[in-house]
Amino acid sequence: MTKEEVAKKYLFFLEKGEMDCVVDLFTNDGVVESPLYGVLSAKEFYKALAEDTNSSQLRFDGLFFEKNTNRISLFFDYVWILKNNKTVEFKVVDILELTSENKIKKLIIIYDTVNARSLIDTL
């Protein structure tokens, strides 16, 4: 799978709530750095996200390749409908650090948590 295919599958599975498929894109020791959940293994992160999520909608805005690295960045709008049916919407940058086999080793998620943090705290 190419870097671009990994990125597209990641967004597709994330929007569909297919967290096991998202986790399969990671290495066994893959980690996620999230502004709300901290640093967790990919399996732990997507389990926690699934527990807090009713559904989500993504609007893809851009894909960026970093020269001479195995990193790729995704820019998208995220509409996150929580288990309590509250909705949070924000722009996200996800930085995927890939292995030479294009498995995700590390995912860094960047977004403004001002609205999301208060709603997550009510769950």
Tell me the pTM.
0.89
Count of domains in the chain? 1
Residue numbers of the domain that contains 90: 3-120
The domain that holds 101 is classified in CATH as 3.10.450.50
- Quick check: helix, strand or coil at residue 90? strand
For residues 23 and 115, what is the distance between their CA atoms, to the nearest angstrom? 26
Give the model's pLDDT for residue 119: 58
How does the average pLDDT of the chain come out, rounded?
A: 91
| Each residue's pLDDT tens digit, 32-55 | 999 989 999 999 999 999 999 999
- Quick check: helix, strand or coil at residue 114? helix
| Each residue's pLDDT tens digit, 92-120 | 999 999 999 999 999 999 987 766 656 56
Is the pLDDT at 123 greater than 60? The verdict is no
**Contact (CB, 8 A) for 65 and 3:** yes
Torsion of Cα atoms, 74 then 44 then 16 then 27, to 10°: 60
Structure tokens, 23: 């986790």
**Contact (CB, 8 A) for 99 and 119:** no
